[in-house]
Structure 1
């Protein structure tokens, strides 16, 4: 079954539950960047949690960016998430690998590191963006996000996330769970949640078992009274395009554009977030340059006219 995200309430609305199956989108990220297994797991874990955090946004025009840099050989992890379930992201070093496993699993913490921070920046279409930063706890991602939610957003949260990578490198299963206590949660609710969490298998194993099922079934298996609020698709998707890339090139100084034409005879621009490459011929660059020069001339003419009017 395709990737999906489920939002639910449990224990009479005092517990909020998010579940996401992200196998296909993590596999797409692996393919786009030709990631080694451990970077696949690291980026896949962040993409999975990010899809849930995007679904927490209130407005369709909002978005958030996650930036993790733990000082390890992987470098930065940067992920964008949107309310419609779309995510995109990249790592600085897609070829990083750990020297050893972590209890038989890919050693994500070793390549991410834990001598840095996790920062979430939300673009809520207000005057200033909202930003929260916490110190990394382990670099294993799940524990780090749980710490972020609890400290930065003041919401007691449990996070479970997993990516299973086959020996050939393909993503076998990926997913995440975010469980949050609402302000009116009781001590009994907390005990019930602790009991549920203690019995959970690794998230990648759970996603393998529910691969052919609607995740609503998983929510109800976890909590008998689970009230599923919504089910939505999630995907790796980037809003970049050749037209948007052309607008970026239009912001380059005319002299630099002329160098691209004279020396490179064109331009190749690659999107960091999805690794899509856009080609621009000499003729296309010349058209952009001509339009730039025209706009500059019109601006100067307008400024000269304003200055002349002031002198008069």
Structure 2
């Protein structure tokens, strides 16, 4: 099954619902960054949460960045997403492998930490980007996305994020849901939702068993009429290129490039987001120097 997100309305439009399968997306990130299982789960949950947040709050060419800066051994997690289902991201320490928590689950809280800052920066095409910042309240990340939406965007929500890591470190299943309460939703509807969500198994278990995003929403809203609006493919993708790194290296200046030539006879640039590597030999660095000088030494 290819990764995709589905959007729906329930209870006459008073509830907005999103669910997605992101198994291949998280698997791509795991392979690129060679993450160990606790880091894989933390990075995967952040990728899934960013996909849900991006597609619930962005339009057209808007973009956003989620920064999770906790006090755990995983370090910072940085994710970029857009309104078109594209996401990329990295975790500062990809090699965190902790024992299971008291519930027998991957200890994402232990990796992320419980103290720190959760930041969302939205580029909406305006002069200044919108930035919202809240403290980390859980470290499990689903609760942290939920708290951000309530505190910073005043949208009561429930966010479920789940990654199932196999024994060989590969990603067996990954996905999530976001339920948003719109103005006009009754207390009865909210109460029913809370009861149903409390009984939900992990989303990754449902995906591993073959459930689609639509079927996940049907489980959450059992017996209710669901209006499915659209499906959107989602994927891990990065827009880095050698040309972009060339422009960045030019800003280092002539002398810094000369030091690379003298000391290393070349340079390697590595993209933080996707771990793609770009090689610059001596001739390539000299060409960049010539761009700085306009061909005049």
Q: TM-score range by the shorter chain?
A: over 0.9
Which structure is larger by alpha-carbon Rg, 1 or 2?
1
CA distance in 2 between partners of 1:56 and 1:180 (Å): 9
Residues 149-168 of structure 1 correspond to what in structure 2 (within 5 A)?
149-168=149-168
Tell me the CA shift for residue 217 of structure 1: 3.4
1:216 corresponds to 2:214? yes
CA distance in 2 between partners of 1:170 and 1:176 (Å): 18
Give 5+ residue unaligned stretches, structure 1. Answer: 298-312
CA distance in 2 between partners of 1:260 and 1:190 (Å): 61
Counterpart position of 1:301: none
Q: Residues 101, 125 of structure 1: CA spacing in aligned structure 2 closer, same or farther, 3 A cutoff?
A: same
Q: Residues 163, 186 of structure 1: CA spacing in aligned structure 2 closer, same or farther, 3 A cutoff?
A: same
Tell me the CA shift for residue 266 of structure 1: 1.1
Counterpart position of 2:27: 27
Counterpart position of 2:5: 5
SS of the residue 2:13 aligns to: coil
Question: Contact 1:21–1:207 (CA<8 Å) still a contact in 2?
Answer: yes
TM-score scaled to structure 1, two decimals?
0.91
Residues 151-195 of structure 1: CA deviation (Å, up to 9, x unaligned): 111111111111011111111111011101001111122122123
Give 5+ residue unaligned stretches, structure 2. Answer: none
Tell me the CA shift for residue 295 of structure 1: 8.1
For these two proteins, the number of residue pairs brought into alignment is: 295
CA distance in 1 between partners of 2:118 and 2:90 (Å): 15
Residues 253-295 of structure 1: CA deviation (Å, up to 9, x unaligned): 1111111122211110000000000001111111111011118
Q: Structure 1 residues 82-91 or 216-225, which shifts more?
A: 216-225
Question: Contact 1:62–1:123 (CA<8 Å) still a contact in 2?
Answer: yes
TM-score scaled to structure 2, two decimals?
0.95
Counterpart position of 2:75: 75
Tell me the CA shift for residue 53 of structure 1: 1.3
CA distance in 1 between partners of 2:128 and 2:26 (Å): 31
1:87 corresponds to 2:91? no
1:286 corresponds to 2:273? no
CA distance in 2 between partners of 1:58 and 1:146 (Å): 17
CA distance in 2 between partners of 1:282 and 1:100 (Å): 49
Aligned-residue RMSD, C-alpha: 1.6
